[in-house]
Amino acid sequence: MPCSVVAGGFWGDEGKGKIISYLALNDGLDFCIRTGSVNAAHTIWFNGKRHALHMVPGGFVNQMCRLRIAAGANVQVAQFLKEVEETNVQNRIRVDSQASIVEDKHSTQDKSSEYLKGLGTTGWGVGPAIEERVRRTAKLAKDVPELKQYLTDVAMETNEAIDSGKKVLLEGTQGLLLSLFHGTYPYVTSRDTSASAICSEAGVGPAKVDHVILVLKSFITRVGTGPLPGEISKEEAIKRGWFETAAGTGRDRRSAPFSLELARRATTINGATQIALTKLDCLFPECKGTRTYEQLPKEAKQFIERIETHTQVPVGLIGTGPEALDLIDRRK
């Protein structure tokens, strides 16, 4: 802090929601700015309740944290209003007037395109909505009466917050390998997902960022189609305790072991200053709920040290369970 970016390093679903909720509570975040769109779901366990948030920033767990949706983001209005009510954040959430709108027609186009179906899109319509934005015919947040009370200039507000020393987190969605520019094209999403793009969507210049926290899961998962090096079968994934279903669409997630090569590519292209490693307890069940590094078994420490050696980036945060505070914090 003061300005941190949280980005995903693989194909999304690395556990960004959990890391962001920890930072919101532990580091006392003042602002949490969400980028991306409704196709991504961030899972947050808070007070024993599970939230799968497609629009509301993960910083909501801290009552004092102001929540913002970036100009570069794409808002699905019905989902936004539903989550605002569910999380009770009416007073502290705002949307940039220039954010664009994902409409029902975009979802229909997404679901009825054979080509997009072949890529395994989420069906929310984000790709078609961005196409429309690029054509300069998209509806923006300022054109929607239901959003009127929430509108603000998020870009200016965010910069002012950073300049006055507030703690600001720019919340990325998805992961580097789903990036339109750096991912496994054409099996990617409709935007760049890297740390620089997260800053661009929020309207924050690169020199204002202090930390880039790259979230990596202890094994790799991917939903939808496209390559997944080292992929294992569903049966094997169940046996290893790696089998997951998507928080947003409920689809099965495919899985593969952690890759040092992919981790290095992701730390490099994102300019990571810290790695947050999640779900260590899925690789080493003895780690569940551990909150100090010393208590980790030797093999778990070796796994972490290999990642640090190969990427030359410190593993500052280690997730050991689903709740925000199930975590080892080695930053200091």
The catalytic site residues sit at 13, 42
Question: Does residue 219 touch ligand IMP according to CB under 6 A?
Answer: no
Residue of 255, 194, 263, 264 whose CA lies nearest to 229 = 255
Q: And the tokens for 159?
A: 């910069």
User: From the CB of 52, what's the least distance to ligand IMP, in Å?
Assistant: 10
Q: And the tokens for 226?
A: 């496209």
Question: Does residue 174 touch ligand IMP according to CB under 6 A?
Answer: yes
User: From the CB of 189, what's the least distance to ligand IMP, in Å?
Assistant: 3
Tell me how far apart the alpha carbons of residues 184 and 154 are, in angstroms, rounded to a whole number: 31
**Cβ neighbours, 10 Å, residue 69:** 30
Residues in 236-295 at the binding interface with Mg ion, rule: CB under 5 A? 247
Residue of 56, 136, 134, 150 whose CA lies nearest to 97 = 150
* Alpha-helix runs per DSSP H in the chain: 16-26, 77-87, 104-112, 114-119, 126-134, 154-163, 195-202, 234-240, 260-270, 280-283, 298-311
Cβ pair 29, 162 in contact under 8 A: no
**Nearer Cβ to Mg ion, position 13 or 110?**
13
Q: Which residue is nearest to ligand IMP (CB)?
A: 224
**Nearer Cβ to ligand IMP, position 3 or 213?**
213
Pick one of 39, 159, 194, 270: the residue that binds ligand IMP (CB under 6 A). 39
Residues in 224-253 at the binding interface with ligand IMP, rule: CB under 6 A? 224
Tell me how far apart the alpha carbons of residues 6 and 1 are, in angstroms, rounded to a whole number: 11
Tell me how far apart the alpha carbons of residues 240 and 283 are, in angstroms, rounded to a whole number: 8
Question: Does residue 41 touch Mg ion according to CB under 5 A?
Answer: yes
Question: Does residue 40 touch ligand IMP according to CB under 6 A?
Answer: yes
Q: Coil, strand or helix: which one is 162?
A: helix
Question: Does residue 13 touch Mg ion according to CB under 5 A?
Answer: yes
Question: Does residue 179 touch ligand IMP according to CB under 6 A?
Answer: no
Stretch that binds ligand IMP, among 67-75, 185-193, 281-289, 294-302 (CB under 6 A): 185-193
The phi, psi pair for 313, rounded to 5°, reads: -125, 135
Stretch that binds ligand IMP, among 67-75, 119-127, 256-264, 306-314 (CB under 6 A): 119-127
User: From the CB of 47, what's the least distance to ligand IMP, in Å?
Assistant: 24
Residues in 56-115 at the binding interface with Mg ion, rule: CB under 5 A? none
Residues in 188-207 at the binding interface with ligand IMP, rule: CB under 6 A? 189-190
Q: Considering Cα of 103, then 104, then 109, then 115, what sign does the dihedral take? A: positive
Question: Does residue 72 touch ligand IMP according to CB under 6 A?
Answer: no
**Nearer Cβ to ligand IMP, position 115 or 145?**
115
**Nearer Cβ to Mg ion, position 21 or 158?**
21
Tell me how far apart the alpha carbons of residues 70 and 23 are, in angstroms, rounded to a whole number: 19
**Cβ neighbours, 10 Å, residue 63:** 10
User: Where do contacts with ligand IMP occur on this chain (CB under 6 A)?
Assistant: 11-13, 39-40, 119-122, 124, 126-127, 173-174, 178, 187, 189-190, 223-224
User: Where do contacts with Mg ion occur on this chain (CB under 5 A)?
Assistant: 13, 41, 247
